[in-house]
Amino acid sequence: MRLTTRRAGDLDGCVALLARVHAADGYPVHWPEDPGRWLTPDELGRLGRHPALEVLERDRAAHALYERLGWRRAGPPDPTLRRYVAPVR
């Protein structure tokens, strides 16, 4: 796999991939009204923001991976989700 910077023309493909992930794994839990905007929120480019994610409580392998990589739990407790923030580098 090779990661690259997303270009404006890539958004439709990203939305299609997100739809496939949602159908297979239920992520995101709540399908966004505008998935393209969900993938490119206005806050994305602002300084002082840190990557964050939510992982379903049942996804134990994902918990282990993110915690091993230094992500830390954050936010209020939720019986269905674990919230993580990226490690500060």
In-domain check, residue 4:
no
Count the Cβ atoms, other than its own, within 10 Å of residue 24: 8
Q: Does residue 89 sit in the same domain as residue 55?
A: yes
pLDDT > 90? residue 88: no
Where residue 54 falls (left for φ over 0; alpha for ψ -120 to 50; beta otherwise) is: beta
pTM tops 0.75, yes or no: no
How far apart (Å, rounded) are the C-alpha atoms in residues 48 and 15? 26
The total domain count for the chain is 2
Residue 3 lies in a domain: no
**Residue range of the domain that includes 16:** 9-41
CB 70 within 8 A of CB 50: no
Mean of pLDDT over the chain: 87
Q: Given a cut of 90, is residue 28 above it in pLDDT?
A: no
Please name every residue paired with 52 in a beta bridge, in sequence order, or none if there are none. 85
